[in-house]
Amino acid sequence: MANKGNKKRRQFSLEEKMKVVEAVDSGKRKGDVAKEFGITPSTLSTFLKDRTKFEEKVREASVGPQRKRMRNALYDDIDKAVFAWFQEIHAKNILVTGSVIRKKALNLANMLGYDNFQASVGWLNRFRDRHGIALKAVCREDSDRLMNGLGIDKVNEWHAGEIIKLIADYSPDDIFNADETGVFFQLLPQHTLAAKGDHCRGGKKAKQRLTALFCCNASGTEKMRPLIVGRSANPHCLKNVHSLPCDYRANQWAWMTQDLFNEWLMQVDARMKRAERRILLLIDNCSAHNMLPRLERIQVGYLPSNCTAVLQPLNLGIIHTMKVQYRS
């Protein structure tokens, strides 16, 4: 026989409790309000008795409207100070990440004299839950436009024929892919922490950029030194720096040009000649790759136009991983 007393307990958020109180204030009978919201008369009486606490929480915005438990933080004054700062920053449309909030919490804790406070990931998660803060994307890209029907046909044709002929005489160690990407080093994150009900909008995007050329082989055993193209031939940030983990060149637009790419290609060709190797280099057909110099140790293979998003190995996660690591 089923136990009728074993009824699952329901919890109400602050927003739901305020709706119940407002329904009573509107003149409805308490019995009707209890039936409308599916609560017992005793629960309704508890909500009405604690209405002052609910209104205070709403007025101070000390907890998010979806919050079901009214428990305060262990370090309540730090929590309030961080949330006040968060609201001020968000009102100015400044993007905020979790690491920024944690650093700010530590600074405020030191100012308030809390030496034992730790702005851990767990504290950040609880802070977000208390105030209804969620991670939101500032903008999105439509990935459905990356390929169309014609592009898919090209991909299938290339996979079935041309690529098999190109790689037939090479081992994975000798099959390379090179590609350029823009690095917008002053660009703010694409995600920000914001209240769950707030509209998320971004400001103007920083346009200062570098161009980075990456090249690696199919087996993943060889990664060539990146080539970075900037605008300044002698950047202030590189003053007194005598060694870099990359090669650096400069032009007015910080773009990859035909001359820069050919210079890099000749260096790779000379290095392969010294090592007595022959390699296959797969590249796209951008304007900087159109007029190549005479090469002795490199066979160049072109990827089909408008298909690099699904064919170029560096575009299938390698460059993305590098940018994630850089921005972290």
Give the span between the Cα atoms of 83 and 64, in whole angstroms: 11
Q: Give the pLDDT of residue 1.
A: 45
Rounded to 5 degrees, φ, ψ at 149 are: -60, -40
Rounded to whole angstroms, how far apart are CA atoms 54 and 56?
5
- State the pLDDT at residue 15: 72
Residue 173 tokens read as: 């160690």
Domain coordinates of the chain in residue numbers?
14-60, 76-131, 148-190+203-327
> Class assignment of domain 14-60?
mainly alpha
Q: What is the pLDDT of residues 183-198, one digit of tens each?
A: 888 776 666 777 766 6
Residues 244-280 pLDDT 10s: 999 999 999 999 999 999 999 999 999 999 999 999 9
What pLDDT score was predicted for residue 139? 47
| Confidence (pLDDT) at 141 | 40
Check residue 119 and give its pLDDT.
87
Token representation of residue 266: 């000749």
| CATH placement of domain 148-190+203-327 | 3.30.420
The secondary structure of 248-315, three-state, reads: EEECCCCCCCHHHHHHHHHHHHHHHHHCCCCEEEEECCCHHHCCCCCCCCEEEEECCCCCHHHHCHHH
Residue 158, token pair as written in the block = 């290339």
Q: Would you tell me how many other CB atoms lie within 10 Å of the CB of residue 47?
A: 21
DSSP 158: I
Q: Using alpha carbons only, give the angle 292, 296, 297 rounded to the nearest 5 degrees.
A: 100
Q: Which amino acid is at 58?
A: V
Q: Which pLDDT does position 146 carry in this prediction?
A: 45
Cα separations in angstroms, 157 against 161, 255, 283, 310 = 6, 32, 18, 13
Q: In the chain, which residue ranges form alpha helices assigned H by DSSP?
A: 14-25, 30-37, 41-49, 51-60, 76-91, 98-111, 121-131, 149-157, 163-167, 258-274, 308-311, 318-327
Indicate the fold that domain 76-131 takes in CATH: Arc Repressor Mutant, subunit A (1.10.10)
Structure confidence at residue 100 (pLDDT): 85
Which residues, given as ranges, of the chain have pLDDT below 50?
A: 1-2, 62-65, 68, 139-147, 149-150
For residue 162, the model assigns a pLDDT of 80
> Given this chain, do its domains 14-60 and 148-190+203-327 carry the same CATH topology?
no
Query: Residue 41's closest CA among 20, 58, 62?
Result: 20
